[in-house]
Structure 1
Amino acid sequence: MTASLKNKLRRGISPVALAILMAVALVIWLLLGDTRSAKDTAPPPEEQAEEQMHEVETRWSQAQPLTREQVLQGQLLPWQQVQVMAQVSGRVAKLLKQQGDIISAGEPLLELSDEGRSQQLTQARAIYRLRQKELDGARKLRASNYVTENEIIRLEGEVARAQADLSAAQLAVEYNSPVAPFDGVVDRHHVEIGELVQPGAELMSLVNVSRLKATAQIPQQDAGRVAEGQAVKLRLLDGRELEGEVRFISLAADPQTRSFYVEAELANPELWRVAGGSATLRIQLPEVMAHQFSPALLRLGPDGNLGVHAVDEDGRVINYPVRVVAITNEGATVEGLPERLQVITQGAGFVDPGQQVRTEVVPEDETADAKASNEFQPGAAQSGPLPGQGAAE
């Protein structure tokens, strides 16, 4: 050996090179060990599937009967309202009824000056009797062929004309004293004694408020809930209440608002002065079976509709679509679910419909819904309008 080589051997291998050699050897050993372990100790397929199953927390939810209301903002109107108009010209001779007077159907309201209409009626009656006698005499002569058939026809036309003139004269005299078309109250009179009026002039305003009409617009998504005959409770602005029932629902929605016209009939035995004002209508809807739980359990299903995750009898996840009836401080009230189901209260955000899961059932008396609030994702639950929210509270 040369002197230089002998010197290198005496110095030995450097610490850096030794560290590199040891690291390479360790990596090779680990790779060989993992490969051999994977070949010799592969876990059974059953154990692998069990490790992939998610565990969720559930509780049983039982539906309870729920009385619902459809709340609408509406307007009160008189049951009947009419403007009495002048049919003939003349001066106001008498005001038989004053503002606030109670009236009956057919009762005279005022009198207009005659302006010769009574004389015209007397003349029309005389002419009619004359034409009728002429026709009767001609028919007797016709039996003896002294009068032609054409003459009979002419006289019948004269009688018809005289009868029409008589009817017009009778109406003109009746128009001298307009009468009430229904039972009610004189709300306003628009003329004074001695005032000259022409046909079409407003004379009096009559209303019937022994019953009232309440009108409102119902959103299209709630129109199917309301039916004729359903009970209605109406609350006035001052807190007083009236009761009645739905009597009409339009078949076509308003093209501007996409809402349906609803009309209710209400009794007003004390004749409260409320017609024309606004009020809140509470329509009593049929009782349904509904569940109540935390809004945190609501989530969007695969079809984009709001629903809730539950577990079926085979341990698979199902997303049931729901309709929200109300959301209060006590929780969300929903309908459309089975009468009894196993709701996922924790872990629903990590599983998909159809997936097999392991369940841990929480007793119904525990507040399991509170734990689910940690999973609540406002963006998912509120990405679309909640069906029915705010319609019935």
Structure 2
Amino acid sequence: MKRTLMLMSLCALLCHTSCTSKKEEKEPETKLLVTSPLTMDTSIVNEYVCQIRSIRHIELRAQERGYLEKIFVDEGQHVKKGQLLFQIMPRLYEAELQKAQAEVRFAEIEYQNTKRLADSNVVAPNELAMTKAKLDKAKAESALSQVHLQFTEIRAPFDGIIDRFLVRPGSLVSEGDLMTTLSDNSQMWVYFNVPEAEYLDFKSKVSAQHPSVSLVMANNKTFGYPGTVETIEADFDNETGNIPFRATFPNPDGLLRHGETGNIRMLAPVKNAVLIPQKATFEILDKKYVYIVGPDNRVKAREITVGAELEDLYAVTGGLKDSEKILLEGLRKVKENDKITFDYESPRSAMAHLKLHAE
């Protein structure tokens, strides 16, 4: 019995000693990664919603009244300048032309007879002049009839793409009725609105006469050809505070069509930008913060002001100095006023694999 009690006491002592030693063991500290902001000249990407328009987009309307006799093309078809598109029944206008041509011949005969009489001093010169005026009037009416007949043929004024037909063969069309539209998509005009502050920055910082821009299409893919900003409209919109820009894009493959939408991306230079990685920040109630590592190796949260957003970086305009240290990794592992051990990585090394536009 005594031996049993001694064994139980010894086991309890060993167990207590083992637990105490485990409690006294310290968990190895995890080193976190710290860096500093990087000050350098860079470019930020400003993005604007845009509307894509054909360089020429016109309405094709009937110029004469009549029944639409024939359509020679199909919707969405590429057509050439001068190609016949629509034919309005021409018989009435052909008859009017024949009548006008007959009146011209009659007036010519009358003029020739009067001229012979005038040459023989049989009639007064005034009568010859009146006959000549009558001939000129007949010729003018004949030319006008010829124009009316030509208007029964609607031809393409330039190379382009035919849109949907608004009439069908047999339709009675009146002068001015819309038949379809025609788009010249060889180049595209892309319109986008720029806020006043960014317009002023653009005018003061962009030295190129026609700066290059890129177009992100509705499928989030970048259009394969860069465009150039060629025109800025004269006036600001007082309601929105924006001014319209127009960029021109080549469209050799015909991918862009009139009426598409997308986003314009335009680089804007920034001098002495204070850059930090986006992953070094966290957000609370729509405000961005970083952890500052103080001289005592304790972390403190500080709000920052982000002036511009790059692909992997923020350009900070307030709340941070380039001489301060910020926590780069392990933000979720710490809380306010924690003391940490860390490895320091230089700003250029920390941002070497990130996307930034150096000037």
Q: Write the mapping of 1:118-197 to structure 2, written as runs, cut at 5 A.
A: 118-132=94-108, 134=110, 148-197=124-173
Indicate the larger mover: 186-195 or 140-149: 140-149
Residue 116 of structure 1: aligned partner: 92
SS in structure 1 at match of 2:189? strand
Letter in 1 for 2:156: A
Change (3 A) 1:130 1:62: farther
Stretches of structure 1 that go unaligned for 5 or more consecutive residues are 1-60, 295-323, 335-343, 346-363, 372-391
User: Over residues 174-229 of structure 1, what are the superposed CA-to-partner deviations in whole Å (9 max), with x where a residue is unaligned?
Assistant: 12110011111112112222222222222222222232221111122222425862
Which of 77, 85, 90 is the aligned partner of 2:61?
85
SS in structure 1 at match of 2:152? coil
Letter in 1 for 2:212: A
Residue 221 of structure 2: aligned partner: 240
Change (3 A) 1:211 1:120: same
Change (3 A) 1:131 1:292: farther
CA drift at 1:100: 1.9
Pairing 1:368–2:351 present: no
- Following the alignment from structure 1 to structure 2, what is the Cα–Cα distance between the partners of residues 190 and 145? 63
Change (3 A) 1:151 1:159: same
Letter in 1 for 2:137: R
Residue 355 of structure 1: aligned partner: none
Structure 1 contact 213–266 (Cα < 8 Å) conserved? yes
Residue 254 of structure 2: aligned partner: 271
Pairing 1:261–2:237 present: no
Change (3 A) 1:223 1:155: farther
CA drift at 1:369: 6.5
User: Over residues 362-387 of structure 1, what are the superposed CA-to-partner deviations in whole Å (9 max), with x where a residue is unaligned?
Assistant: xx8xx43659xxxxxxxxxxxxxxxx
Number of residue pairs aligned between Structure 1 and Structure 2: 258
Change (3 A) 1:273 1:252: closer
SS in structure 1 at match of 2:243? strand
- Following the alignment from structure 2 to structure 1, what is the Cα–Cα distance between the partners of residues 174 and 113? 43
Change (3 A) 1:119 1:67: same
Structure 2 contact 307–314 (Cα < 8 Å) conserved? no
Structure 1 contact 228–249 (Cα < 8 Å) conserved? no
- Following the alignment from structure 2 to structure 1, what is the Cα–Cα distance between the partners of residues 257 and 103? 54
Residue 207 of structure 1: aligned partner: 183
- RMSD between aligned alpha carbons? 3.8
Which structure's relative contact order is higher, taking Cα pairs within 8 Å and 6+ residues apart?
Answer: 2
- Following the alignment from structure 2 to structure 1, what is the Cα–Cα distance between the partners of residues 131 and 169? 45
Structure 2 contact 183–258 (Cα < 8 Å) conserved? no
- Following the alignment from structure 1 to structure 2, what is the Cα–Cα distance between the partners of residues 141 and 64? 97
Residue 252 of structure 1: aligned partner: 235
Which has the higher Rg, Structure 1 or Structure 2? 1
Stretches of structure 2 that go unaligned for 5 or more consecutive residues are 1-36, 277-305, 328-356
Change (3 A) 1:152 1:215: farther
CA drift at 1:99: 0.9
Structure 2 contact 52–190 (Cα < 8 Å) conserved? yes
Structure 2 contact 48–194 (Cα < 8 Å) conserved? yes
Q: TM-score under structure 1 normalisation?
A: 0.55
Pairing 1:292–2:305 present: no
SS in structure 2 at match of 1:178? strand
Structure 2 contact 53–258 (Cα < 8 Å) conserved? yes
Letter in 2 for 1:203: M
Structure 2 contact 71–169 (Cα < 8 Å) conserved? yes
Change (3 A) 1:124 1:71: same
Residue 326 of structure 1: aligned partner: 308
